[in-house]
Amino acid sequence: MVLAAAFLATGIYGAWAYVHDYEVYRGFPPPSDPRGIPTGTLVEARFQSPALGREDSYMVYEPPGFQRLAAAGYRFPVLYLLHGTVSNALHYVNVGRVGVALDELLAAHRTRPFLVVMPESSDGSFIDDTEWANSRKGAYETEVIDIVRQVDQHFPTIADRSGRAIAGLSMGGYGALNIGLHDPSIFGVIESWSGYFTQTAGGPFAGASRATLDYNSPAWYARTIAAALHQLPLHVFLYSGRQDKVTRYQSRFARELRSLGVGVSTAEPPGVHDWRLWRAEMPVALRYAGHWLYTARAAGGYRFRAG
């Protein structure tokens, strides 16, 4: 009986460990830097959110040498990453390898140092369908702007749009576009990875008016902010998997933005709507952000190449 209990306990622990590891790493091996490459530092910041009326948090990946550079007076650009549904901020680190990818790019001199900030906002459900928007579920768009202010107050940042990029995958990609286009004076770079461009009357927008849906559909309102987009240089990177059945109309939306004077780069690498794609494309997305975070005031003419 003792042996049987031991075998049962081992089996239960093994099953728990498998489920736990899949939740944390989604079937991929834990990320680690190659030997000899300097490693950055992941820190968590907690604060009282006025937008949500509760405590909230965000993760910050500090690039290698951050403390030394900050002590010398260096101010860092920031990339904000919004997670998707059934996900969280740490998936960018543990599954997407964002820290390892940034460390590798810096070691190879393919980008310059910047902070990566990953908000951890949640609606308390398993799906976490907030759309990163202000809706009946909460003021999640306002929450992102609160986090920008928090980061600028507590980290040595370039505290204007030239030093800020916002990106995300799936729901986070939609949220990045929606937040970035609602006020182009906050972010100079926007990336949407497998995102979408219109909002529907479901989830947090169930029962929403037509005006509310239009206000939260970048494809519908982009033309209404044409004057602002002509005045403020904006750089946008859109990508989705070639076999992705979720993402639609990327090419059409890219043409719309280009007609408004926005610098847009697109890519359609092989893949579907999953972490295998987002993990593989992480270096590309980081290089795009890094390039424009350091040349946000440069004249046009540069075309980013995903390869």
For 38-294, the fitting CATH number among 3.40.50.740, 3.40.30.10, 3.40.50.1980, 3.40.50.1820 is: 3.40.50.1820
What is residue 224's predicted lDDT score, i.e. its pLDDT? 96
Average the pLDDT over 281-288 and give the result: 98
Segment 236-260, tens digit of pLDDT: 999 999 999 887 799 999 999 999 9
| Residue 24: DSSP 8-state | H
295 band by pLDDT with thresholds 50, 70 and 90: confident
Structure tokens at 278: 């987002």
- Mean pLDDT score across all residues of the chain: 90
Residue 121 has pLDDT above 90, yes or no: no
Residue 304 has pLDDT above 50, yes or no: no
Global pTM value: 0.90
Average the pLDDT over 75-100 and give the result: 96
Segment 14-51, tens digit of pLDDT: 433 434 456 779 799 999 999 999 999 999 999 999 99
Would you list the domain boundaries of the chain?
1-30, 38-294
Residue 80 has pLDDT above 90, yes or no: yes
Among 141-145, 189-193, 245-249, 274-278, the range scoring the smallest mean pLDDT is 245-249
What is residue 20's predicted lDDT score, i.e. its pLDDT? 46
Greater confidence (244 vs 126) lies with 244
- Distance CA(110)–CA(283), nearest Å, equals 10
Say what percent of the chain tops pLDDT 70: 89
Segment 168-182, tens digit of pLDDT: 999 999 999 999 999
Residues 6 or more apart whose CB falls under 8 angstroms from that of 294 comprise 77, 112
State the alpha helices, DSSP H only, in the chain. Answer: 2-25, 66-71, 90-94, 98-107, 140-154, 171-182, 210-215, 218-221, 226-231, 250-259, 275-280, 282-294
Residue 69 has pLDDT above 80, yes or no: yes
Average the pLDDT over 87-106 and give the result: 97
Residue 104 has pLDDT above 50, yes or no: yes
- Distance CA(221)–CA(244), nearest Å, equals 25
